Structure 1
Amino acid sequence: MTWSTGCSGFVAGLLIAVVTAPVGVSGAVFLLPVQLSVLGVPSPAVTPTNLLYNVVAGPGALIRYARNGGLTGPLTTRLVLGTLPGVVVGAVVRVFVVPGPGIFRALVAVLLLPLGLWLCLRTVRPPRRDADAARQHPSGPSVTVLAVAVGVVGGIYGIGGGSILGPILVGLGLPVAMVAPAALAATFLTSVVGATTYALLSLTTTGPIAPDWFLGLACGLGGLLGGYLGAHLQPRLPETALRLLLGGLATGVGLLYAVQAVS
């Protein structure tokens, strides 16, 4: 891995995190196609490399949100308790069941494309007030179950889960200002566990399974700076703009992966 590749990874991580951190997404889901198609990281090593990016980049936004008190509350605890065991299962599935990049991209497209469109539609044309009020506070057990499922998916994709949890929870009526810090906290902690799991699996399994440490650190340092700046911008953006941004990000990456899967 050359220094020019590392610099490209740093810039990519910085720019992506600035845009995604305000809505609770680490940016790893957008970094994946860059690593696969531009930086040439092999599969499945791209997944733990992306998780390493989350580990390094995560504290940037989290420090800013912690200063604003955004990390307190039960939502963060429920998401973390669900995603931590899920990401371990997802890592094992990624290594032994879904190693090919074609299937990997197709699964991302199938998941994120309808999710993003759904959130954009709910933002532009919200449901009736009485129906919306009933969805304002999803139950604690349902959030934990959702977090387990998303943890598995995040372990497979190397995205930590925030890009999936964010659109779902915001679509159910929770405000972005509440969801974003909790989703990023869950992403950071599950990425620590996920990256460690991949590193351990690489000791007993052949093939490119261990993360690309140099590139993951380079991208993560860019994300560290970009995440702090993005979290700083969040209070200055209206809720509708944040919801549309989150839905647009999910839709955009779903389309990108759909094109790559069929090409």
Structure 2
Amino acid sequence: MEWETGLAGLATGLLIAVITAPVGVSGAVFLLPVQLSVFAVPSPAVTPTNLLYNVVAGPGALLRHHRTGTLHGQLVRRMVLGTLPGVVLGAVIRVFAIPGPAVFKALVAGFLLPLGLWLIARTLLPSRWSGRAREPLSPRAVTALALTVGVIGGIYGIGGGSLLGPVLVGRGMPVAQVAPAALASTFATSVVGAATYTLLAFSGSGGIAPDWFLGLACGAGGLIGGYLGARLQPHLPETALRLLLGTLATAVGALYAAQSLA
């Protein structure tokens, strides 16, 4: 029944957002396999549905960051400006080229799994990396990375915070600085991406438009959960946030590795 699906989507979005928002991850990367396996959203409609979740869920965490004054600065602007053109290109690639999801899952697993494990080890055993601190990425490198993540987000609807966050934190940036910027870029990317898919739906076939009911239900849960997660962030120490980000990256990598081998 539709109301049962709506309640399940609401609960799923809320739970995911509460856990992921403190480290700048929208949660769409976890929602994607749930939509495919549990809610049976067809491809490629699953991608714009995931983007729709980000559009609805994003303002919750962003409102909290705005109130605390953390939603400002060069990092936010560079990440947003980098991801916006990327997501349009990614959406066009997804609709007309339709790249295989198996390759994407293997690439994400190969990227996030070792990165997450490294971030956990570096946090738990800081003495092993004493004197090896890495320089933060240059502004141009941040923009280039955001552009790449924007393309990936446009193709697969995962937002990009789960990819950007571990890289920037691993390069020495504090989680409290990275999280608002990652969430802002994810929100901007998702607004443009969802609009692009809606327009492309008029010229294509095969279920390009999002599942509006499910996307809105999951997004409503994410809206509440994102605000709660962002409110929780200042009360968590940097070590706990780094461990959470590393754990999330490792979990996503392991999940996609298992799916790519299935």
TM-score by length of 1: 0.94
- Displacement after TM superposition at 1:219 (Å): 0.2
* TM-fit CA distance, 1:178: 0.3
Q: Is the 8 A contact 1:94 1:155 kept in 2?
A: yes
Contact 1:98 1:104 in 2 (8 A): no
Unaligned runs of 5+ in 2: none
Superposed, 1:90-169 pairs within 5 Å as 90-126=90-126, 128-132=129-133, 135=135, 137-169=136-168
Q: Secondary structure of 1:41's match?
A: coil
Worse overlay, 101-110 or 149-158: 101-110
- Give how far 1:209 is off: 1.2
Question: 2:171 matched to which residue of 1?
Answer: 172
Unmatched tracts of structure 1, length 5 or more: none
Corresponding residue SS for 1:207? coil
What CA distance in whole angstroms lies between the structure 1 residues aligned with 2:140 and 2:104? 29
CA deviations 1:84-141 (Å, max 9, x no partner) are 1111111122222335443443333233222222322332334645441x51x42211
For 1:145 and 1:100, locate their aligned partners in 2 and report how far apart those are by CA, in whole Å. 24
What's the counterpart of residue 234 of structure 1?
Answer: 233
One-letter amino acid matched to 2:222: G
Root-mean-square deviation over aligned CA pairs:
1.5
When the two structures are aligned, how many residues end up with a matched partner? 261
Please give the alpha-carbon distance, in whole angstroms, between the structure 1 residues aligned to 2:130 and 2:100: 45
Partner of 2:209: 210
Q: Indicate if the aligned counterparts of 2:122 and 2:129 stay in contact, CA closer than 8 A.
A: no
Identity %: 71
Q: How far apart, CA to CA, are the structure 1 residues paired with 2:124 and 2:169? A: 13
Q: Is the deviation greater in 118-127 or in 54-63?
A: 118-127
Question: Please, which moves more after superposition, 62-71 or 103-112?
Answer: 103-112
Q: Distance in 1 between matches of 2:55 and 2:137?
A: 28
Aligned pairs (5 A) from 1:1-263: 2-126=2-126, 128-132=129-133, 135=135, 137-263=136-262
* Aligned residues of 1:44 and 1:100 also touching (Cα < 8 A): no
Alpha-carbon separation, structure 2, partners of 1:40 and 1:15:
20
> Which has the larger displacement, 149-158 or 48-57?
149-158
Deviation, 1:55, is: 0.2
TM-score (norm 2): 0.95
Q: Is the 8 A contact 1:150 1:165 kept in 2?
A: yes
CA distance in 2, matches of 1:146, 1:197: 21
> Residues of 2 paired with 1:151 and 1:207: CA distance?
23
Separation of aligned partners in 1, 2:109 and 2:48: 20
